[in-house]
Amino acid sequence: MAVGVFDSGLGGLTVLDAVSRRLPDVPFVYFGDNAHAPYGIRDAEDVYKLTTAAVSRLFDAGCDLAILACNTASAAALRRMQESWVPKDKRVLGVFVPLIEALTERQWGDNSPPREVAVKHVALFATPATVASRAFQRELAFRAIGVDVEAQPCGGLVDAIEAGDEMLAEALVRSHVEALKRRMPHPEAAILGCTHYPLLQGAFQEALGEGVKVYSQANLVAESLADYLGRHPGMRGTGDASMFLTTGDPGFVSDKATQFLRRRIEFRAA
């Protein structure tokens, strides 16, 4: 009954925490590819190879369904994986879908023509690779018209979060928000397009101002997953125990994860 959650590092723990609270009876297998993090500076082919290797490990752990709790992997690898790699009895889902649904207020299965939505000016904060992919803009354009998206590549932010350097991370948030607001002075909404960034949601909100609605992915993904499993109960897989896997140093990653979630987390070597 296990469901896999994958991220390039520790950011996906924000998603894991939300889905675990929403679905307390479901075992989750978390895979952090910490040895190769961050993905946000890698090219698409490299991200694809690393992501498929990680998801294969989740399948081996008894997961029939894997969530790419990594925007870079969702942007650079997910579509290719779904079209040509994922076995017929498995499913791999990304984190863009719930975000697009929330922003456009329409379900993913709604294939009607694009229409106008309430929000017209959207700031997207993401890794350089996610920004370069333009995946968010592409998916949004299928469903909405008249939305201006200004994307800000947040170089260095994931590294600072992974290193636990809160002061540097908050300074980088302020710098990236200032850079974006020079191009879009008055965004109505902001997308935190990396699962590491909710750890700094307060800093983003402060820098953007109270009038900007900040969309964070973790709770949206949790609700979407609960709905999906309700409709596809057979995708819970054969695994029956939660575990945390990493390609990095298990002791170091465990300590950092414990700081993030404020409860003891024990990783094992993948």
Is residue 16 classed as helix, strand or coil in its secondary structure?
A: helix
Domain that holds residue 211: 97-217
Q: Among residues 37, 63, 65, 70, which one is catalytic?
A: 70
- CA angle at 21 for the pair 223 and 136, rounded to the nearest 5°: 40
Residues in the chain: 270
User: Binding site annotation covers 7?
Assistant: yes
- pTM, to two decimals: 0.86
172 shares a domain with 114: yes
CB 122 within 8 A of CB 98: no
- Most distant CA atoms of the chain, gap in Å: 51
183 shares a domain with 80: no
Question: Is the predicted pLDDT of residue 236 greater than 70, yes or no?
Answer: yes
Give the number of other CB atoms < 10 A from CB of residue 116. 10
Locate tokens 């299928």: which residue? 142
199 shares a domain with 102: yes
CB 257 within 8 A of CB 34: no
110 shares a domain with 186: yes
Alpha-carbon distance of 28 to 41, in angstroms, equals 28
- Of residues 270 and 236, more confidence is placed in 270
21 shares a domain with 106: no
Share of the chain above pLDDT 90, in %: 66
Any catalytic annotation for residue 154? no
User: Binding site annotation covers 34?
Assistant: no
| Domain CATH for 43 | 3.40.50.1860
Where residue 8 falls among pLDDT bands split at 50, 70, 90?
very high
Give the number of other CB atoms < 10 A from CB of residue 241. 11
User: Binding site annotation covers 39?
Assistant: yes
User: Binding site annotation covers 72?
Assistant: yes
Q: Among residues 151, 194, 225, 257, which one is catalytic?
A: 194
Any catalytic annotation for residue 194? yes
83 shares a domain with 113: no
pLDDT, tens digit, 9 for 90 and up, residues 53-85: 999 999 999 999 999 999 899 989 999 999 999
47 shares a domain with 86: yes
Q: Any idea what DSSP says for residue 38?
A: -
Question: Is the predicted pLDDT of residue 206 greater than 80, yes or no?
Answer: yes
The mean pLDDT of 164-181, rounded to a whole number, is 96
